[in-house]
Structure 1
Amino acid sequence: MGGGFVAMVEENEIRATLSPYERGRIAVVAARGGAFVNTEAAVEALFAAASKAKRSKIRSFAQLFEELGDLLRFPEMLTEKQGLILATALRNGGEAPLRDALEQGGPAGTIAEEWGLLEAALATLEMPERNPRRGGRPKKAPAGGEGERIRLSSGFTLVRDSDARGPLVRIEGREVAPEVMEDIIESIRRCLEVR
């Protein structure tokens, strides 16, 4: 049965752009329908070609569907950022205030009205500080030493440096031919195996 869901998702990804929410909903429906043991397995199978980061976002929207899907009127119109903010709030115990805001605010007529209700509830929640070690792109390159620069007459520059994982050698300048790169790697391998 899971294979049928995979084929359907692949077809939908080709023919129509699915919203992040729709991807999460499909994973939950497939798991609830017994095609997969749980939502996590559904996401992994249905979106196997997606990057790890994209699958993580799909899991966040799956949680959004599970916990707020019955109350949201415009879930497909949520931006990725809005959905991830809501998923973070849900992971940190915000389900009750978010549900209350949607129930007590009455049916929203537009996505802007619905998001306004949700934003008001989010403002009352204590959100943990974002861990800079998790997710996202680094703000700047990891700091290493200044590195020794060796300029070669051929136009290349060798940069010797190190970081927390060990020594680094970088080749700067023009493009290195693949066969030359293979020779360089082989020379390094021989040097390291002998010592």
Structure 2
Amino acid sequence: MRDPDQMGGAFVAMIFEELGDMLQFPEALREKDGLRLAQGLRGGAEAKLRDVLGAGQARMQTSTGVTMQKKSDSDGFMIRFSGKGVSDEMIKMVMEEVQKTLEK
């Protein structure tokens, strides 16, 4: 996909706002595919698109509504936490538990 400033389309902003966290290589997205994504978003298909885009990524949801998603980039791996109940305090607690596990 070309630079959003060059395209001048509001659909590009919509895609990046709604799905940017799920697109690993947004610059590789063809304009035609970007238009199709925007059409789906305008049609209310964000949840379905997120499910499809997340299918190749490890994702778990707890019974308390916290979603954990495994991601990776050139710097390594990360786990994204989202949903109700996610707080700075909870993340600190999770990091302490991970530290304990890794030090065994």
Q: Normalization by structure 1: what TM-score?
A: 0.27
Q: Quick check: which has more Rg, 1 or 2?
A: 1
Q: Which has the higher contact order (CA 8 A, sep 6+)?
A: 2
Which structure has greater strand proportion? 2
